[in-house]
Chain A
Amino acid sequence: DAGITQSPRHKVTETGTPVTLRCHQTENHRYMYWYRQDPGHGLRLIHYSYGVKDTDKGEVSDGYSVSRSKTEDFLLTLESATSSQTSVYFCAIRGTSGNNEQFFGPGTRLTVL
């Protein structure tokens, strides 16, 4: 998984509670991404980061915030989780080959009851 770890790997929470997912990389990649994957929708970009403290919104950013205080960590926060945020969340990094491919972590399965 290209040196990417995600934690937790599974989480069950209740509507209205805050949730933070962590993505950690060990190879000093500048670009990091958060996606969600849902049946019928494929992978959709939530937010991405192009450096420490530099982030931008993706296609489905409403209800999510991110932070990147260190190169190796990219955090995704659901301030007040809703059932519509039940999904599998993947973190990705951009490779350094010059082709801008993305490499994905193992995913976090989140269930909001």
Chain B
Amino acid sequence: QKEVEQDPGPLSVPEGAIVSLNCTYSNSAFQYFMWYRQYSRKGPELLMYTYSSGNKEDGRFTAQVDKSSKYISLFIRDSQPSDSATYLCAMRDNAGNMLTFGGGTRLMVKP
């Protein structure tokens, strides 16, 4: 079993929909959680960063962490075709030298 699990998708939604992307993890030592967006044939770019539990909002994006359930989410409001990409979750413990990534969820937002 992988340390971080992520549904690979693809997830197809109409423009304007609310998107929910999720990761589950098994290592209770993970304290820092990140979401990356990766367009086709590009490097991942950091989208959101959260520490421990709670919510963080940035424009149309909200990251949510539930450490008791070992579950993190990324919500995208008013989704746009330009949001079509692969979304990767990543996490690390306090030592911080290495990130553990989920496999990524491919999102397609149709006009």
Chain A residues with CB below 8 A from B34, complex form: 101
Asked if A40 contacts B103 (CB within 8 A), the reply is: yes
A-chain residues with CB within 8 Å of residue B41 when the two chains form the complex = 107
The answer to whether B101 and A99 touch across the interface, beta carbons within 8 angstroms, is no
Partner of B104, one of A42, A50, A102: A42
What residue in chain B is nearest A97 (Cβ atoms)? B49
Query: Are A58 and B43 touching (Cβ within 8 A)?
Result: no
Sort chain A's interface into a size bin: 20 to 34
B46 near A: Cβ within 8 Å?
yes
Which of B52-60, B69-77, B91-99 sits within the interface?
B91-99
Residues of chain B contacted by A102 (CB below 8 angstroms) = 46, 90, 99
- A104 contacts B43, C-beta separation under 8 Å: yes
* Among A90, A99, A106: residue with most chain B CB under 10 A: A99
- Give the chain A neighbours of B96 by CB distance below 8 A: 100
Q: Is the CB of B46 within 8 A of A103?
A: yes
With a cutoff of 8 Å between Cβ atoms, the chain A residues found around residue B92 in the complex are 100
Min distance, Cβ B37 to any Cβ of chain A, angstroms: 11
Binding site for B on A (CB under 8 A): 1, 31, 40-45, 48, 50, 56, 58, 90, 99-107
